[in-house]
C-alpha cells in the first residue's frame, strides 16, 4: 500500500512539474465534483432518515436496499458535472493565477511575510471566489437575473462569514508551511468539506 501511494505521489509530482496548470485545474475539478457527490448523498440520506423516523414500518424490511435505490433515483450526475466545471473554470483557474500572482508580488513564507499575504487573500480573493461560484452555479442552473440577485442577497454574506471561520487558519498554514507547487493541492484537500457545504448552499433554492 505504501509503495502504491509513493508511486502515485511521484506520478502526481511529475505531472505538477511538467504541466502545473493542467494538473492543478483538473485536480480542482475532480475535488469540487466529488464534494458535490458527497453533498447530494448527505441530502438524500438525511431526507431518507427523516422518512424512516416518521414511517418506520415502510422501511423495516430492507432499509439499506432502500437507501441505495433512493440514491440511484435522486442522485443528479448533471449537477455534479456542473460543479466539476465550476471547479475547473472558477476554482482551478482562478486559484492557479492567484497563487502565482501572490508568489510574484508578495513572495516569502516567514511569519512577517505571510500575515499581509493572508489579509490580502481573505479580503480580496475569498469574496471574489465566493461570488464567482454563486454566479456561475446560478447561471448553469438557468436562474434569471432576479433569482441570482435574490440568491446573492440571501446567501452571499452568511456564506462569506462561514468562509472566514474556516479559511484564514487553513490559508495561514498553506502560505507558511506548504511549498508553492503544492498549495493548490493542499487548499483542495482542505476544501473538500468546504466544497460539500458550498455545493449545498449554491444549489439550494433561493426562496
Nearest CA to 133 among 166, 89, 167?
89
Q: Which residues have a Cβ under 8 Å from the Cβ of 136 and sit 6 or more positions away?
A: 86, 89, 90
pLDDT at 59: 47
pLDDT at position 168 is 94
Q: How far apart are the first and last CA of the chain?
A: 48
Is pLDDT above 50 for 117? yes
Length of the chain: 207
Q: What is the per-residue pLDDT across 176-205, written as a single tens digit (0 to 9) for each?
A: 999 988 998 898 888 887 777 777 777 766
How many CB atoms within 10 Å of residue 98?
17
Within 10 angstroms of residue 87's Cβ, the number of other Cβ atoms is: 29
Q: Report pTM.
A: 0.79
- Model confidence over 124-174: pLDDT tens digits? 999 999 999 989 989 998 999 999 999 899 989 998 998 899 899 999 999
Interacting residues of 204 by C-beta distance below 8 A, sequence separation 6+: none
Residue with cell 452555479: 137
Q: Tell me the three cell numbers of residue 154.
A: 440571501
Amino acid at each position: 500500500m505504501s509503495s502504491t501511494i509513493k508511486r502515485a505521489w511521484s506520478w502526481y509530482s511529475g505531472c505538477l512539474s511538467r504541466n502545473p496548470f493542467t494538473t492543478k485545474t483538473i485536480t480542482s475539478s475532480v475535488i469540487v465534483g466529488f464534494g458535490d457527490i458527497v453533498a447530494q448523498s448527505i441530502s438524500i440520506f438525511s431526507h431518507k432518515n427523516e422518512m424512516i423516523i416518521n414511517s418506520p414500518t415502510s422501511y423495516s424490511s430492507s432499509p439499506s436496499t432502500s437507501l441505495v435505490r433512493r440514491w440511484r433515483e435522486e442522485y443528479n450526475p448533471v449537477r455534479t458535472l456542473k460543479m466539476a466545471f465550476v471547479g475547473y473554470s472558477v476554482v482551478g483557474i482562478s486559484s492557479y493565477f492567484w497563487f502565482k500572482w501572490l508568489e510574484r508580488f508578495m513572495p516569502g513564507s516567514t511569519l512577517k511575510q505571510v500575515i499581509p499575504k493572508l489579509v490580502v487573500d481573505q479580503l480580496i480573493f475569498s469574496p471574489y471566489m465566493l461570488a464567482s461560484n454563486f454566479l456561475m452555479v446560478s447561471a448553469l442552473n438557468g436562474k434569471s437575473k432576479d433569482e441570482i440577485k435574490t440568491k446573492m442577497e440571501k446567501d452571499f454574506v452568511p456564506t462569506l462569514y462561514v468562509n472566514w471561520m474556516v479559511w484564514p487558519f487553513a490559508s495561514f498554514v498553506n502560505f507558511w508551511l506548504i511549498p508553492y507547487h503544492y498549495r493548490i493541492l493542499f487548499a483542495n484537500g482542505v476544501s473538500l468539506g468546504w466544497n460539500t457545504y458550498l455545493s449545498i448552499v449554491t444549489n439550494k433554492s433561493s426562496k
